[in-house]
Amino acid sequence: MTENAEHRDRRGGLLLPRRRFLGSTALLGASAALAPGLLRPVRAQGPQRGGQLKLGMDGAAATDSLDPATYTATYMQVVGYQWGNCLVELDEKVRPVPELAESWEASADASVWVFKLRKGVTFHNGKEMTAADVVYSVNHHRGPESKSGAKGYLEVIKDVRATGEYEVTFDLETPSADLPYVLSDYHVLIVPEGSDFTKPIGTGPYVIESFEPGVRTLARRNPDYWKEGRGWVDSVETLALNDLTARTSALQTGAVHFINRLDPKTVNLLERAPGVLVIDVPSAGHYTFVMRADTPPFDNNHLRLALKWGIDREELVDKILRGYGRVGNDHPIPDFDPFFNRELPQRGYDPDKAKFHFGKSGHDGPIRLHIADAAFTGAVDAAQLYAQHLAKAGIELEVVREPNDGYWSNVWMKKPFVGSYWGGRPTADLMFSVAYKSDAPWNESFWKRPEFDKLLIEARAELDVEKRRQLYWEMQKMVWEDGGEIIPMFNNYLFGSRDNIDGFVPVPVLTGLRVSEQLYFTDL
Amino acid sequence: MHPLLRLVAQRLVLGAGTLLVVSALIFAGTEILPGDVAQAILGQTATPEAVAAIREDLGLDRPAWVRYLDWLAGFLRGDLGTSLANRVPISEMIAGRLENTLFLAGVAAAIAVPVAITLGVIAARFRETWLDKTISIVTLSAISMPEFFIGYILIFVFAVKLFWVPSIASVFPGMDFLDRLYAVSLPVATLSLVVIAHMMRMTRAAIVNVMASPYIETAELKGLTRSRITLHHALPNALSPIINVVVINLAYLVVGVVVVEVVFVYPGMGQLMVDAVAKRDVPVVQATGIIFAATYVLLNLTADVLAILANPRIRHAR
């Protein structure tokens, strides 16, 4: 018990004794984080060097490879940021800030971008980073042969060329104001020209010493790391802990210092464990129910509206996310995005309106929702609750339980009404381009509106912030009124940390991927 | 040909036949798994074109029986194939994992087998007393609980509450032997609890059975102590069924560890197989499946042969 009291005292606050709710305060913060690491208040003594940090991450597999083109899940993304850096980093307000690039500038029509590189940055093999290395690294993800996860994002680039020793020029296929965001993607890590991507040599804070796919990665500090205020610990051991229970018990016993993806259901129990802190970060990730807008009966907007009005979002946030999230408004733009439409009314739970639209749709009989927990944590429970909500509007929802195995290949984008999950994208443009544009590869609602596509392309090329805002607001309204996505909630990211660890920077997208260079021990 | 050799040869042929049937079953089983490896490799980044490209690349567009024969031929040459997901030779992936699984099974066997046989002998010697009953109740309770449940209870008590041992069995190459033993203490305990009951009961039953023979009565009439009779007269003649059950449990220690490896995040074959299933990495699933099956068949064969050697009546069968 005395130990308990001490923890509370040190964290200063009895109401939330073991939780660091970092996101909201950071988002309300006024100043930019151009000097990462120096911004967050730290204890008087400041960060200390040293110690071996142990991370327990999920999303690992025996088939993982160090080649950044293959990264799809958290484990390798975290390892990637141990050995490498991107040209651009995102700050706590999801704005692009310089990383290996020092500055950048777009032509007036946003079709040509010039990036100036940081000078004097060396790779782990001692070679200095120059423009040729950047061109080589970016091209790794492009071209017809590429199987890179970043291929789609980078299609906007027509040509990338070195226009000086420390200057890279990008010519774009179509104008885009968001190129810096694209270059912050975790795939686009910079390696020396001609080097082997499966044994990457980076500029990052740690040098990979041993890598056992799906088991363990050990990395030692790069003594020549260029970034100020980053890379504190002597070594980082990243353990593959895909199993939630194993991850949680490893944190409780102190076998690891930091874990990702806690289960909202058990967070309150974990908070009570001695020596453990829970970190809660609002994110752009959202859970959705998707209707195929090209397939009866979902091709009727009255039916879509009936299903949108007939869901009790508050209850889902409460019971499925246990409060670790926010309600959604049937479009994918998170409330912290600068282009979030603030004037769009929040859709509530209104069984009468649902009943009205259902009647107008002319549809009769039950609606089938195909779901599995593979869609998102608690998806089946969420569907059962949804069925009860709709019952009050006189709509019968039949919950068809599908196997987790093969859900993404056999059910998602195959059946007309399914559950889905999006991790969120750093910008409105990327989010809309990947899932809402008519020809988007994952246009999961098969919602095709040429007017929407036109606005999207117009907004992408627009450098004037106010004009862009108007365009994105209009697009959110279109999706809200007519789209095939029911978006009841945005989830928070939940991390667990030992209480002698500090330094976490809560970036709301791609959250926690750069922890290895941020965290330090407070008790050395 | 010596009858014993002929017997062994016969068993080997039967074993090979079993393996062939198993290989067909494994192949068929992996064929009907829902989902698609191309989709699984690309995850949420899968576009239809990329999926088609990967499928063609991996030869998944050929008919199933062609791929089966191909695979079988490769296997007979000792070529386990390459992983679909990352193009690494499977033998390379499996080498370290198999070693880890055998290490875990070995340590568990080194503890469980002597403990089980000793308990069995004690239970037989003190048959129908409170000691016998306690041993039976405790070991049978342990076997009645699923492994993952025992695992979680052990984690909760010995790792989370008492901090005696690690909750995850993290081992890596270059770790020294004692550290490795410490790391696997909980999985070893879990596995031991699961296999002890079976071996203990069989030892007890075999001895009790022999104790009913007339020659034991003679020994008793000679005035020997019960302990001496149990150890020197009954046990040697009960060895045959005991060896059989011990070897079958050894096979279980190797092939039945999937759940235990997952619970304790132990980098063995079981974990590899589960990973491969999740990734739809069919060649890896097939290779691990065949290795598990081969282990089982081989150890059963060994059990048969040892039982024959230990039992003159079978050895000289006419």
- Please judge whether B167 and A62 are an interchain contact, meaning their C-beta atoms are less than 8 angstroms apart: no
To the nearest whole Å, the CA of B181 is away from the closest chain A CA by 16
Summarize the confidence of residues A353-358 as an average pLDDT: 95
**Per-residue confidence (pLDDT) for residue A470, from 0 to 100:** 96
Q: What is the largest CA-CA distance in chain A?
A: 70
DSSP-derived secondary structure letter, A69: G
To the nearest whole Å, the CA of B295 is away from the closest chain A CA by 22
- Please judge whether B170 and A441 are an interchain contact, meaning their C-beta atoms are less than 8 angstroms apart: no
**Per-residue confidence (pLDDT) for residue A3, from 0 to 100:** 33
**Per-residue confidence (pLDDT) for residue A500, from 0 to 100:** 93
Task: State chain A's mean pLDDT as an integer.
Answer: 88
CA distance A127 to B36: 42
Of B36, B168, B172, the CB nearest to A241: B168
Q: Among A268, A313, A260, which residue's Cα sits nearest to residue A289?
A: A313
**Per-residue confidence (pLDDT) for residue B312, from 0 to 100:** 67
Strand duo A367-371 + A397-401: pairing: parallel
CA distance A44 to B86: 47
DSSP-derived secondary structure letter, A198: T
Of A73, A212, A441, the CB nearest to B47: A441
Summarize the confidence of residues A76-105 as an average pLDDT: 95
**Per-residue confidence (pLDDT) for residue B1, from 0 to 100:** 62
CA distance A73 to A88: 20
Report the first-to-last Cα separation within chain A, whole angstroms. Answer: 24
3-state secondary structure at position A505: coil
**How many other C-beta atoms can be found within 10 angstroms of the C-beta atom of residue B176?**
7
Asked whether the predicted pLDDT for residue A310 surpasses 50, the reply is yes
Summarize the confidence of residues A185-193 as an average pLDDT: 94
Q: A261's torsion region: left (phi>0), alpha (psi -120 to 50) or beta?
A: left
Q: Among A464, A473, A469, A425, which residue's Cα sits nearest to residue A110?
A: A464
Query: Residue A363 corresponds to which tokens in the numbers above?
Result: 């549809």
To the nearest whole Å, the CA of B275 is away from the closest chain A CA by 6
Task: Note whether B152 and B189 are within 8 A (CB).
Answer: no
CA distance B75 to B73: 5
Measured between CA atoms, the residue of chain A closest to residue B152 is A245
DSSP-derived secondary structure letter, A344: S
pLDDT tier, A4 (very low <50, low <70, confident <90, very high otherwise):
very low
- Please judge whether B34 and A409 are an interchain contact, meaning their C-beta atoms are less than 8 angstroms apart: yes
**Per-residue confidence (pLDDT) for residue B232, from 0 to 100:** 85
- Please judge whether B284 and A70 are an interchain contact, meaning their C-beta atoms are less than 8 angstroms apart: no
* Placement of tokens 């059950």 in the chain: B245
Tell me the sheet residues that pair with A218: A210, A237
Summarize the confidence of residues B100-122 as an average pLDDT: 92
Of A56, A152, A250, the CB nearest to B47: A152
Which residues from A are below 8 Å from B33, CB to CB? 405-406
Handedness of CA A298, A304, A310, A315 (dihedral sign): positive
Residue A394 belongs to what H/E stretch? none
Q: What is the largest CA-CA distance in chain B?
A: 86
Q: How many CA atoms lie within 13 A of B238 on its CB side?
A: 30
CA distance A331 to A284: 11
Which residues from A are below 8 Å from B264, CB to CB? 246
Cα–Cα distances (Å) from B208 to A367, B122, B124, B203, B213, in that order, read 65, 11, 6, 8, 9
pLDDT digit string, tens, across residues B132-184? 999 989 888 888 888 889 999 999 999 988 889 898 888 888 888 999 999 99
SS3 content of chain B, % helix, strand, coil (to 5): 80, 0, 20
Count CB pairs under 8 A between chains A and B: 116
| Helix/strand/coil (H/E/C) assignment for every residue in A477-503 | HHHHHHCCEEEEEEEEEEEEEECCEEC
- Please judge whether B167 and A253 are an interchain contact, meaning their C-beta atoms are less than 8 angstroms apart: yes
* Placement of tokens 């802990």 in the chain: A241
CA angle A87/A88/A92 to nearest 5° reads 160
Percent of chain B with pLDDT over 90: 18
CA distance A314 to A304: 19
Of A61-75, A504-518, B59-73, minimum mean pLDDT range: B59-73
Task: Note whether B113 and B258 are within 8 A (CB).
Answer: no
Of B40, B53, B159, the CB nearest to A249: B159
CA distance A139 to A79: 21
Query: Residue A409 corresponds to which tokens in the numbers above?
Result: 């290949």
Please tell me which residue, A147 or A40, carries the higher pLDDT value: A147
Strand duo A112-117 + A167-172: pairing: antiparallel
**Per-residue confidence (pLDDT) for residue B309, from 0 to 100:** 77
Q: Among A75, A105, A69, A104, which residue's Cα sits nearest to residue A185?
A: A69
Q: Which residues contact B50 (CB under 8 A, 6 or more apart)?
A: A147, A151, B38, B42
Interface test with A, best of B167, B271, B272 (most A CBs within 10 A): B167
pLDDT digit string, tens, across residues A372-382? 988 888 999 99
Range of A60-74, A310-324, B62-76, B82-96 with top mean pLDDT = A310-324
To the nearest whole Å, the CA of B194 is away from the closest chain A CA by 20
Q: Give me the phi and psi of B40, to 5 degrees please.
A: -65, -35
- Please judge whether B86 and A249 are an interchain contact, meaning their C-beta atoms are less than 8 angstroms apart: no
Q: Give me the phi and psi of A425, to 5 degrees please.
A: -125, 155
Query: Residue B79 corresponds to which tokens in the numbers above?
Result: 């070529």
Of A141-145, A247-251, B178-182, minimum mean pLDDT range: A141-145
CA distance B241 to B230: 16
Strand duo A167-172 + A157-164: pairing: antiparallel
3-state secondary structure at position A524: coil
- Please judge whether A63 and B85 are an interchain contact, meaning their C-beta atoms are less than 8 angstroms apart: yes
* Placement of tokens 């752009």 in the chain: A284
Cα–Cα distances (Å) from B129 to A100, B136, B142, in that order, read 77, 11, 20
**How many other C-beta atoms can be found within 10 angstroms of the C-beta atom of residue B175?**
13
* Placement of tokens 């990462």 in the chain: A36
